[in-house]
A and B are shown apart, each in its own frame.
Chain A
Amino acid sequence: MKYAGFALVIALSACGERTVSTVVPDDTAATLALGRAALHGQPRDLPRARAYFARAAQDGSGAAAYYLGVLAERDPAERIRWLTIAAERGEPHAMFLLGNAYRSGAGVPRDDARALAYYAQAAEAELPAALQTLAMAYRSGELGLAPDEDEARRYEMEAGHALDHPPPEP
């Protein structure tokens, strides 16, 4: 418990102003916090970070799966695999990155419909970047959408409102 609390303190200070709102005092949260601390440390300790994230991901953490995805920058297949796991575990930032991947065909075949579905999922979780993406897509007619100024405005308003209460950083 004390160890978990200490780890959380590091995580909180490493995250700057962001509050870690999912304060769940268990081992997985502590391992995740240690992973973040290693990732954001000066100097950064990537192998250590990966090890912690792997452990937490094994325990079911969506945030850990997200980090393993973004840290697999050089291995597109591995990146997609971990981000998909994270998305399945409800991590909105991973959903958003998968939307990007399907949009640009990076690591997966290009698929506007799947990109849109992932963006919509992240938007339902109120990720401002996803709401903004949809707003822009409706404004300019992207991702196979017909331009729709009313929908653009609606998503724009939701993005602005969601800035206040976005999903917690992973």
Chain B
Amino acid sequence: MFLRRSIVVAALALAACGDNTRAIEPATPDGPRPPDAPSQPDAAPPLPAGSTLTFGVLETTDLHTNVRAYDYFKLAEDKSIGLERTATLIAQARAELPNSVLVDNGDTIQGTVLADYQALIAPVGCDQPLAIYKVMNALGYDVAGIGNHEFNYGLGYLAQVTHTAFDVTGVNTSGAVACKGPTFPQVLSNVFSKKTDQPIFAPDAIVTRTVRVTTPDGQQRDATLKVGFLAFAPPAIVTWDKRWLDGVVYTKGVQETAPALVADLRARGADLVIAIIHGGLDNKPYAPELENQGWYLAQVPGIDAVLLGHSHQVFPNAASTAPQFNLPMVDKALGSVAGVPAVMANFWGQHLGVMAMHLTWDGTAWTHDPAATIVEARPIATTCKTGQPLACTTGTWATGATCPFATACTGLADKAKVYVDADPSVAPLVETEHQGTITYVKTPIGTTDFAMTTYLADVGEVGAIQIVNQAQAAYVAAYVQQNLPQYAALPVLSVSAPFKSGFQGGNDYTSVAAGGVAINNAADLYLYANTVYAVKVTGADLKAWLETAALRFAQIDPTKTTDQPLINPGFPGYNFDVVTDPDLSYEIDITQPLPPMGQPASGRIKNLTWKGQPISPTQEFIVATNNYRASGGGGFPGLDGSKTIYAAPDTNRDVLIAYIKAHPSLTRAANGAARSWHFTRVETAGNVVFSSAPAALAAAQASSIAGISQLAADDGSGKGLALYAIDLAP
């Protein structure tokens, strides 16, 4: 009953693929590939037993809308990523393996600013495929699975961009079927509508291909090959995207769903069954909600190959020490799980997964010898060592085909990086969306009446840090009020650090000029990929935190007449966490020594007060920070993962962007003057010196940081830095 219903559902879902000009049974491809010969009519001579076929399965996964080799936050090319380069590998693999299918494993439509642009800023219309789907259509993808990130923008959006009607409560997707979208089928086997108990996508699909086989006499002829697909998303989507999915869909695991679908595909004549899973490998005891079920999926009988994804890894990889690739029954050198060929092709287009399967016709069926399958993940870039490309030191891929880097490293130094060329047909397809995204990133989301820089963050400038703290604190405070009532009475602080404070030289500072503040400026203000974390700490913890941050400074001897450096070179500026809250105040006394190695910092934080009162060691605070710091990054005592009360799904950068959009008129008075810390004043016999950008002096005057003078326009380091002194005298 289920089989029949699922066939009906599959047929309906497939029919719902809008402008899919390529039918599934039989398949006639769209796009820039030579047309297949028509299927053989029944009168064709039977295929002789012993005929062989090399069949290729090509995988991309976790593309996350990285179509161009481009970083939208930095507004710069980034050749290490992008489907436009994977496309070159795809073309080369197809030339090598003319009988092949190209498969995507999901997490496709969300990830870069381009994705947000098309989903939220300039919403893609029903008359346009998404930019990435345009390219995938042109590349002639055969089938795709669905990942967890497909659900990030909600079911209405997903329905529209995949031109699929979901029969679910609360979302009307009836118009979606008429929209433009992928010209290839999308499959999802384990996500069901609560309303109907039916899968919301086709739970399986058969792609029929005309293939060129070699008969035992050495001749070539056409035959028909039916390749069945099933595809799985992580069951936890119902938690991760609770706001869209709770009560609307439910998920099952591979053990509950795969066997019946495999049987269905075989009953419909599938010669091969390929399982696409947006997940990795895990041999924890099986549970339907296990995040990474690839290890279990490979053990379902009747599956000929498994395509993995979701985690960032590359598989096969003989040298990998990743726990998931060192499980029983996993052959990380050859690329198989429980004897079933498996591949995982990294993320953002960095790799193309390639399987070359050797099939033999035994007279009634195609048989597949897993031991003869070659699996590899081919990168779009590689590093040179002694004139050889590390990705293919023999000049060939594992299949024996020439690799594109074969001669690329000749004459190049070690560690030089070489890239495949971008496929020139890709960029023109998405030029409008690409330029639109760039324009969006450059469009001000706010204004600032002051230059927000980190030139003087080490001596008290908060202009580039306070806005980050304000955004983090507001975000955490709102969450706590809504969701953690047991903490609602606690004050919420925030800490952040200057991410760039000149280590690389005069250009290595955050600098947002007065005027418009755009998204790329926000990316300058918040540099790292972090998520917001909130920790609950005591006054003693807070003091220890600030003591550790105060290790940023060397010890100053007030009696010394020669120049003394202000900065402790062993302590990076990105760990100089500061509070920028008008209600919190402290001094840093740099006449106090640094601790002996391995000992905790102490003795430098003086007069730590909250709302004018000394902070007691047991008083509690919530502090907004990031995953790196809260998990122990920087080695701050007591911050070891155990104090986290909230691990947010949102990145600090996105929280900052949202805050600026909500408070678009930034002023020094409101957003750049809350100096919680000062140096303890002390008369010094000599200069206390530090380096900074040449522009720092003007910045000091603009932000009323007193006591700064320039000693030399060039500090002699050759890094474009000037030398300054700070007068600490009372």
Q: Spell out A's residues near B (CB within 8 Å).
A: 16-19, 21-24, 39-40, 42, 66-67, 70-71, 73, 90, 93, 96-97, 100, 103-107, 110, 120-121, 124-129, 132-133, 136, 140, 142, 148, 150, 153-154, 156-166, 169-170
Q: Are B649 and A17 in contact (CB under 8 A)?
A: yes
Q: Are A96 and B347 in contact (CB under 8 A)?
A: no
Given contacts A42-B486, A165-B311, contact A129 B236 (CB under 8 A): no
Q: Are B285 and A24 in contact (CB under 8 A)?
A: yes
A-contacting 9-mer, from B116-124, B127-135, B633-641: B633-641
Choose among A40, A106, A133 the residue that contacts B598 (Cβ–Cβ < 8 A).
Answer: A106
> Which residues of B from 484 to 515 have beta carbons under 8 Å from A?
484, 486-487, 503-504
Given contacts A21-B236, A105-B597, contact A127 B631 (CB under 8 A): yes
Choose among B64, B572, B627, B637 the residue that contacts A163 (Cβ–Cβ < 8 A).
Answer: B627
Q: Are A24 and B284 in contact (CB under 8 A)?
A: yes
Residue of B nearest to A23 (CB): B287
Given contacts A125-B323, A129-B632, contact A70 B641 (CB under 8 A): yes
- Complex CA gap A105/B598 in Å reads 4
What residues of chain B lie closer than 8 Å to A142, measured between beta carbons?
572
Interface of A is mostly: helix
Q: Are B641 and A93 in contact (CB under 8 A)?
A: yes
Q: Are B635 and A103 in contact (CB under 8 A)?
A: yes
- Complex CA gap A156/B80 in Å reads 12
Q: Are A73 and B638 in contact (CB under 8 A)?
A: yes
Instruction: Flag whether B651 is at the interface (Cβ < 8 A).
Output: yes
What residues of chain A lie closer than 8 Å to B597, measured between beta carbons?
104-105, 110
- Complex CA gap A44/B572 in Å reads 34
* Chain B 260-293 per-residue mask, 1 if CB under 8 angstroms from chain A, else 0: 0000000000000000000000001101011100
Residue of A nearest to B240 (CB): A19
Apart from A104-B635, A159-B528, A163-B531, what 18 extra A-B contacts exist at CB < 8 Å?
A: A17-B647, A17-B649, A90-B323, A97-B632, A97-B640, A100-B635, A107-B598, A125-B322, A128-B531, A129-B633, A153-B80, A154-B80, A160-B529, A161-B62, A163-B530, A163-B627, A169-B644, A169-B647
Minimum Cβ distance to chain A for residue B548 (Å) = 10
Closest 3 CB pairs of A and B: A160-B529, A105-B598, A129-B631
- Complex CA gap A106/B598 in Å reads 4
- Complex CA gap A142/B62 in Å reads 31
What residues of chain B lie closer than 8 Å to A16, measured between beta carbons?
483-484, 645-647
Q: Are B287 and A19 in contact (CB under 8 A)?
A: no
Q: Are B289 and A23 in contact (CB under 8 A)?
A: yes
What residues of chain A lie closer than 8 Å to B21, measured between beta carbons?
none
Q: Are B311 and A126 in contact (CB under 8 A)?
A: yes
**Chain B interface extent, by class:** 35 or more
What residues of chain B lie closer than 8 Å to A70, measured between beta carbons?
640-642
What residues of chain B lie closer than 8 Å to A42, measured between beta carbons?
486-487
Instruction: Flag whether B417 is at the interface (Cβ < 8 A).
Output: yes
Instruction: Flag whether B574 is at the interface (Cβ < 8 A).
Output: yes
Given contacts A105-B597, A125-B323, contact A158 B312 (CB under 8 A): yes
Instruction: Flag whether B364 is at the interface (Cβ < 8 A).
Output: no
- Complex CA gap A14/B80 in Å reads 41
Choose among B310, B320, B383, B572 the residue that contacts A150 (Cβ–Cβ < 8 A).
Answer: B383
- Complex CA gap A2/B63 in Å reads 42
Instruction: Flag whether B628 is at the interface (Cβ < 8 A).
Output: yes
Q: Are A22 and B321 in contact (CB under 8 A)?
A: no
What residues of chain B lie closer than 8 Å to A107, measured between beta carbons?
598
Instruction: Flag whether B451 is at the interface (Cβ < 8 A).
Output: no
Given contacts A17-B648, A105-B598, A136-B574, contact A129 B627 (CB under 8 A): yes
Q: Are A163 and B529 in contact (CB under 8 A)?
A: yes
What residues of chain B lie closer than 8 Å to A73, measured between beta carbons?
637-638
Choose among B323, B574, B647 the residue that contacts A18 (Cβ–Cβ < 8 A).
Answer: B647
Minimum Cβ distance to chain A for residue B38 (Å) = 43
Minimum Cβ distance to chain A for residue B560 (Å) = 27
- Complex CA gap A110/B651 in Å reads 33
Q: Are A22 and B236 in contact (CB under 8 A)?
A: no
Choose among A93, A124, A153, A162 the residue that contacts B323 (Cβ–Cβ < 8 A).
Answer: A124
Minimum Cβ distance to chain B for residue A160 (Å) = 3
